[in-house]
Amino acid sequence: IPNHYQDCVSTVLISHGMIMDRVQKLAADIRAAYTGKTIHLLCVLKGGSAFFQDLQVCLRNFHQFSKQESIPFTFDFIRAKSYAGTESTGTVKVSGCDLEKLKGKHVLLVEDIVDTGTTMSYLIPLLATYNPASLKVTSLLEKRTPRSCGFKADFVGFSVPDEFVIGYCLDYNDAFRDMQHICVISKTGIEKYKDGVPDS
């Protein structure tokens, strides 16, 4: 944990090493599920960006780490934002993607976490109207919470307890994305970054 976040973390939930191992295995599962197809990875910004980067490295380098061939993929980015502080506003703002280009593609959404499921429950029907050949979701984390709407991702890395988690691009008011482990935020962390990250 970097010095500037030391008092903001109550526990390290998933170490960076564990994340990397799991992403490698997820890449293998994804590769197997898309044999003979080209995957169109759609990274959900900003939270999904670290997972997306590591996942695409695994997919790209497959032939180096296993006896199997890599499979082709393309990618794009979409922005979806709904959180303020630790709470979902319930309203998902989507921007930054030409949805027309999804037509006929095997779209795989790359997310950091499915929490209440609000983001995915909004995004999936929206994207489906643009007629992709298939539409699936990989999420590094899924939260065990009574607030879940029941949405389940197709490829999940880890199930996490009902705590607010940060790090590896998961944020609290844009803070903590720059931490390599996935951690539970402390009360001090919530207080310290309640108005976001200071500019200077």
- Among the listed ranges 42-50, 60-68, 150-158, 161-169, the one in contact with Mn ion (CB under 5 A) is 42-50
- Residues within the interface to Mg ion (CB under 5 A): 83, 171
**What's the closest the beta carbon of residue 38 comes to Mg ion, in angstroms?**
30
As a whole number of angstroms, the distance between CA 167 and CA 12 comes to: 10
- Among the listed ranges 7-15, 30-38, 62-70, 76-84, the one in contact with ligand PRP (CB under 6 A) is 76-84
Touching ligand PRP, residues 127-166 (CB under 6 A) = none
Confirm whether 76 is a catalytic residue: no
User: Which residue, 47 or 189, is less far from Mn ion as judged by CB?
Assistant: 47
Residues whose CB falls within 8 Å of the CB of residue 178, separated by 6 or more in sequence, listed in order: 2
The strand ranges marked E within the chain are 9-14, 39-45, 73-84, 87-95, 106-114, 134-143, 155-160, 165-166, 182-185
Site membership for Mn ion, residue 189 (CB under 5 A): no
Site membership for Mn ion, residue 47 (CB under 5 A): yes
**Which position among 171, 176, 182, 193 is part of the footprint of ligand PRP (CB under 6 A)?**
171
Site membership for ligand PRP, residue 173 (CB under 6 A): no
Any idea which residue has 């200077």 for tokens? 200
User: Which residue, 70 or 180, is less far from ligand PRP as judged by CB?
Assistant: 180
**Which position among 5, 117, 157, 165 is part of the footprint of ligand PRP (CB under 6 A)?**
117
As a whole number of angstroms, the distance between CA 33 and CA 17 comes to: 25
Cβ(186)–Cβ(7) below 8 Å: yes
* Selected catalytic residue, list 7, 54, 76, 115: 115
**Which position among 114, 160, 179, 185 is part of the footprint of ligand PRP (CB under 6 A)?**
114
Backbone angles phi, psi at 103, to 5 degrees: -55, 125
As a dihedral over the C-alpha atoms of residue 183, residue 170, residue 106, residue 66, rounded to 10 degrees, the angle is -40
Per DSSP, the three-state class of 144 is coil
**What's the closest the beta carbon of residue 25 comes to ligand PRP, in angstroms?**
22
Query: Which residues are marked as active site?
Result: 115
Give the binding site for Mn ion (CB under 5 A).
47
